[in-house]
Chain A
Amino acid sequence: MSIEDVAPRTTAWTIGRIIEKQLPTPTTVRLRMHVEDRQRHWPGQHYLVRLRAPDDYVAQRSYSVASDSEDPLVEFLVEKLPGGEVSEFLADVAEVGDVLELRGPIGRWFSWDVRTPALCLVGGTGVVPAVAMTRAARRAGRPELLRVLAVARSREELPYADELARAGASLALTRVALDGRPPGPPTASEVAPLLAGVEIAFVCGSSRFAQLGEALLMESGFPVEKIRVEQFGATG
């Protein structure tokens, strides 16, 4: 599929109820929600979450889905940003049973068809779409279709580290050594072996991480038109 061939789909606002809430680390919150009138989603897609104040002031943000489409609940993992009016609310105020406005799934470009051999090069909370892809691949009985290289400062700061490691993901830690790997960003020599047979690469993380990921892929000779990027700045 080229950028010219992405099909449209209409979505409407609906509501979702928080069924489970966890704080896996001091800076992240994991929500599992029951979504009314839910549509199926592809791994990699996101939802909009909208909060409404009594004076009808609203704040909305996009969050990647961590769950696969067969999961009865929709799962989000949100990084709590200092001063982030939505992320701080979700981490500090929202409780199980609360109802939020949701719209999705959105994003037909940064999504995986669970058929094309793929590599995810993801950093920090950018691992979330890779988690959805990992779960979808496992559910489809095709875990060999997906390779994941997940990057974080330390294992404690890598969301879903255990789940990704169990699924065979490669981990690269930039601040601490891991199983003999010295601390540092991933290198082209670590990325290149993961690219054999890969037909699409998903890069997700901060703007800085996305630039690194694109550069590594291109340095490894991966075709630029097969790279899909989702990057986030500090939008709270």
Chain B
Amino acid sequence: MPVTRGFFRKRPDGPEGRLPPGQYDTGSGWPVLTAEATPRLDVDAWTMTVDGLVDNPTTWDWRQIHALPGSTYFGDIHCVTTWSKFDTTFTGVSVDELLNVAVPQDDATFVMAHSTTGYTTNLPIQDLTGGKAWIVWEYDGRPLPREHGGPVRLLVPHLYFWKSAKWITRLELMAHDRQGFWERNGYHDRGDPWREQRYQGD
């Protein structure tokens, strides 16, 4: 592709080795992107379910999920719309804790994450295990803001942020991959920012 006449790099690359290709550092900002009306979730009515190909389909309510061992993510997040945000802090529970209770079956290789709004996103199960994914309710030590998925969202920070479904309510373990909302809309099935897997075909 041709060089754009008169265009030169203005932004710094951010901390050494931490800005994936095609991304920029949004600094203290945190842009909001949503497809649907932002819901008002009542934590007393909210539940988190892990089901599908598991030995023990399990549902936690707000109090029960907070009773699980807590976990915090310190690090960077990357949005497909090209912003990255460095040194974020999210607190909640590791997805590993939920899977330890639900016990995935051997043929469970993919997961569909479901939000209360009907939003979905698909991930290989390996992207949710091994300390790489969380169910989070705090950002920077405060309750997660509603527009950023509060009171509770999925966090999969090593993938583009559309995989980190806001208002998460269910992880459905599957034997075969099935496309979620943005994936059917042309976004990539895996979404690795370091390989710049933004759209189908990348």
Residues of A within 8 A of B (CB): 2-4, 6-13, 15, 50-55, 57-62, 85, 89, 93-94, 98-101, 103, 106-110, 203, 207, 210-211, 214, 217-218, 224-225, 227-236
Q: Which of A15, A225, A232 is B1 in contact with, Cβ under 8 Å?
A: A15
Known: A3-B35, A59-B82, A218-B37. Is A52-B1 also a contact (CB below 8 A)? Answer: yes
14 additional A-B pairs beyond A8-B200, A233-B29, A235-B83, beta carbons within 8 Å, are: A52-B1, A52-B7, A53-B9, A54-B8, A55-B9, A60-B22, A94-B6, A101-B2, A108-B186, A109-B185, A203-B37, A227-B36, A229-B38, A231-B33
CA distance A187 to B150 in the complex (A): 26
Interface pair B119/A10, CB less than 8 Å apart: no
Instruction: Give the interface size bracket for B toward A.
Output: 35 or more
Question: How many Å from the CB of A204 to the closest CB on chain B?
Answer: 12
Interface pair B118/A207, CB less than 8 Å apart: no
CA distance A13 to B199 in the complex (A): 11
Please indicate the chain A residues that have their CB under 8 angstroms from the CB of B39 in the complex.
224
Which residue of chain B has the shortest Cβ distance to A218 in the bound complex? B37
8 examples of A-B residue contacts, CB within 8 angstroms:
A6-B184, A10-B200, A12-B201, A89-B7, A108-B186, A110-B35, A224-B39, A229-B36
Please indicate the chain B residues that have their CB under 8 angstroms from the CB of A217 in the complex.
37
Please indicate the chain A residues that have their CB under 8 angstroms from the CB of B31 in the complex.
207, 232-235
Known: A2-B118, A51-B4. Is A211-B147 also a contact (CB below 8 A)? Answer: yes
Interface pair A3/B200, CB less than 8 Å apart: no
Question: B26 in the interface, Cβ–Cβ < 8 Å?
Answer: yes
Please indicate the chain B residues that have their CB under 8 angstroms from the CB of A109 in the complex.
35, 181, 185
Interface pair B11/A11, CB less than 8 Å apart: no
Known: A60-B22, A233-B31, A235-B83. Is A224-B37 also a contact (CB below 8 A)? Answer: yes
Please indicate the chain B residues that have their CB under 8 angstroms from the CB of A234 in the complex.
29, 31
